[in-house]
Structure 1
Amino acid sequence: MGTSSAFGGQGGGTPLVPSWLGDDGAPPAAPDGAPPDGGPPDGPPADAPADGAPPAAPPAPPARPPIPPVADPARFSAARNNFSRFAGSGGSDRKSLGRAVSHYVGSSSGGARTAAARMGSARGAGSRLLGFLSDAVARGATEALRSLNLGALAGRPIEEIFLGLADYVCPDGGSIDEGIAREAFIETITDLAGAGITDLDGLTADQMQTVFELYATNAIEARLCNDIGAKTITLPSDSREAARVQAQLNDFVRRGVADALTVARAAAAALTPDRVLQFVGRIYEQAFGILQIMGDAEAEGA
């Protein structure tokens, strides 16, 4: 919830998955020397007619992506009302927490797959973070940093290294989606010491999973709070109760992410650079599915 305070929440009519939201929230950059449309950098166009031949008809303009339908403006109401009851209870009304999360995934987002698709920039950021961590485990922190032209950070405290990685993992942008991804990464940096991760040079595979678990948890929590409208929910005036509400939500989300990572342990062990983004997207989808099941169980008092 701390990551979402800068955002005012989604309007009810916002499409479930905006048309501009790609795998990482931005279109891929063209390679060096290539024009944006992928044509040859020099010489005549590839489709230029032979000498004496009539000119070819100009290609048809590319089709515009379809405009997503406007979503139900009241789709967040059930999740918002239940989370307000949970917050108002100071964290004691676990059934309302369960209903809030279950409604968010199932009704508000349209299921786990669509909820995961809404994690656009956080999905790209998570894949870059996991790819870097995997490289650090395999080749060492120094070589992994050099590959990003960040060799000067080698040997520095891990918090400084991660701050130096921020522009690579989650480039700063103006959209709410990009802001959520970046704020979740900053929250993750503050969580490292509490997780006992203090040395990037000796990073283990289990610690790599923990760092990604922390990031995915913070990103999902921020997405959920932003969507249901963090500023419309009043936290308890007692600071201890407010902290308990936040801690319980974070713990709830983290259990779902941890379970998803446990299920995917074999895939994580065989992770390759070209499969990182797909793996991260699958983790988000599985985590949302697990969170819906956990929410239903909590709502029923199981």
Structure 2
Amino acid sequence: MGTSTAYGGPGGETPLVPSWLGDADIAGAPAAPPGDGAVPNGQPPADGAVPPVPPNRPPIPKTADPQRFSGARNSFTRFAGSGGSDRVNLGRAVSRYVSTSAGGARQAAQRMGASRGAGARLLGFLADAQARGVREALRALDLESLAGRPLTEIFVGLADYVCPGASTVDEGIAREAYIETIVELASEGLTDLTTFTPDQMQTVFELYATHAIEARICNDIGTKAVTMPVDTQAAHRVEQQLRDFIRGGVSDALTRARAETPNLTPERIQGFVDALYESAFAILQTLGNAEADQ
């Protein structure tokens, strides 16, 4: 939604997390020989020695359920058709996306590969700017010329650092979520990076993660397969209801994460972000179930 990349959704047979396999061409690998020490003719070696057993190869991923998107897609279509008033089907759509379409909160978080990396770089820059000052944080990235510029100009200048790629759907989601975050900075009262508080840092990251998760869900469900209201105001309500719902889950996850990790060092930022996405999806599934049960 918004400026998020739209396509028809992944094919149902696509593995849940296809891009996290190793580099080995496991599909075309030869079959491993039997592990009983036999040679190709089935006879043991003449000297009685047992030949080494080759290392286990990673298993070929199972074909995913081709219908795993249908439940979330159908519920979201009903929610969209209501003009944003059907909270029951909003909850069902989000809950079914996490539990069935993505395969659980951990798998859903793994699908956020580029957005997790971008989120960590964004949070790392904000933490550095608060610790050492904006100019020093920008100098470390060879962007000192942005010091003293308006906040939106600084964030635009950071775009290639935060989101270095845009050649895949995953990278496109990360970059467009970042762009939408920049658009919302002023409306959130975020105008001066030199005076950012920890709460304002949380707000920036909260905006980013919200847009990234929203775009991931909409792309996976397949926005072209979902009928949106013709009325512009109704379509906007649908978009805003979904975004507010996701932001609530992200905000809860951030509050918990900050309580568990009050001192966020540079070495812990990526792990913090990874855990936060997983926690956010788990909370969204819980919130979705609660809406669906009403």
Q: Please indicate, yes or no, whether the TM-score normalized by the shorter chain is above 0.5.
A: yes
Aligned to 2:66: 73
CA RMSD of aligned residues (A): 2.0
How far apart, in 2, do the equivalents of 1:278 and 1:12 lie?
30
Q: Extract unaligned runs of 5+ from structure 1.
A: 27-60
Contact 1:82 1:100 in 2 (8 A): yes
1:13 equivalent in structure 2: 13
Q: Report 1:226-265 matches (<5 A).
A: 226-265=219-258
- Mapping of residues 100-139 of structure 1, within 5 Å: 100-139=93-132
Preserved CA contact (<8 Å) 1:21 1:120: no
Cα separation, 1, equivalents of 2:21 and 2:112: 9
How many equivalent pairs are there? 265
Question: Equivalent residue for 1:4?
Answer: 4
TM-score (ref. length: structure 2): 0.86
Which letter maps to 2:250?
V
Contact 1:3-1:180 within 8 A present in 2 as well: no
Pick aligned residue for 1:204 from 185, 193, 197: 197
Are residues 189 and 64 of structure 1, via their aligned partners in 2, closer, same or farther at CA, if it must alter by over 3 Å? farther
Q: Is the 8 A contact 1:221 1:253 kept in 2?
A: yes
- Share of identical aligned residues, percent? 68
Give the C-alpha shift of residue 156 in structure 1.
0.8
Determine the C-alpha separation between the residues in 2 that align with 1:208 and 1:143. 17
Q: Distance in 2 between matches of 1:234 and 1:75?
A: 19
Please state whether the residue corresponding to 2:193 is helix, strand or coil: coil
Quote the residue 1:33 is aligned against.
none
1:169-208 to 2 correspondences below 5 Å: 169-208=162-201
Q: Whose radius of gyration is greater, 1 or 2?
A: 2
Secondary structure of 1:9's partner? coil
- Matched ranges for 1:86-97 at <5 A: 86-97=79-90
Q: 1:145 to 1:239 in 2, by over 3 A?
A: same
Which residue type is aligned with residue 2 of structure 1? G
What amino acid does structure 1 have at the position aligned with 2:14? T
Shift, 1:151, TM fit: 0.3
Residues 1:158 and 1:63: Cα distance change in structure 2 (over 3 Å)? farther
CA deviations 1:92-146 (Å, max 9, x no partner) are: 1110000000100111111111111111010000000000000111111111111
Larger deviation, residues 262-271 vs 117-126: 262-271
What TM-score, normalized by structure 1, do the two folds share? Answer: 0.84
1:19 Cα deviation from its structure 2 partner: 3.6
Structure 1 position 21, deviation (Å): 6.9
* Distance in structure 2 (CA, Å) of the matches to 1:236 and 1:293: 27
State whether residues 5 and 173 of structure 2, in contact with CA within 8 Å, keep that contact through their aligned partners in structure 1: no
Distance 1:125 1:62, change over 3 A: farther
User: What is the CA–CA distance in structure 1 between the aligned matches of 2:261 and 2:125, rounded to whole Å?
Assistant: 14
User: 1: CA distance between counterparts of 2:58 and 2:149?
Assistant: 45
**Partner AA of 1:159 in structure 2:** T
Q: Distance in 1 between matches of 2:118 and 2:243?
A: 19
Aligned residue for 2:62, secondary structure, equals coil
Q: Distance in 2 between matches of 1:73 and 1:240?
A: 34
The whole-number CA distance in structure 1 between the counterparts of 2:257 and 2:5 is 32
> Is residue 147 from structure 1 mapped to residue 135 from structure 2 by the alignment?
no
Q: Distance in 1 between matches of 2:230 and 2:165?
A: 33
Distance in 1 separating the partners of 2:288 and 2:273 = 22
1:213 to 206, 228, 240: 206
In 2, distance between residues paired with 1:164 and 1:188?
14
Query: Are positions 1:290 and 2:283 aligned together?
Result: yes
Q: Closer, same or farther in 2 for the Cα pair 1:169/1:141, shift >3 Å?
A: same
Q: Give 5+ residue unaligned stretches, structure 2.
A: 24-53
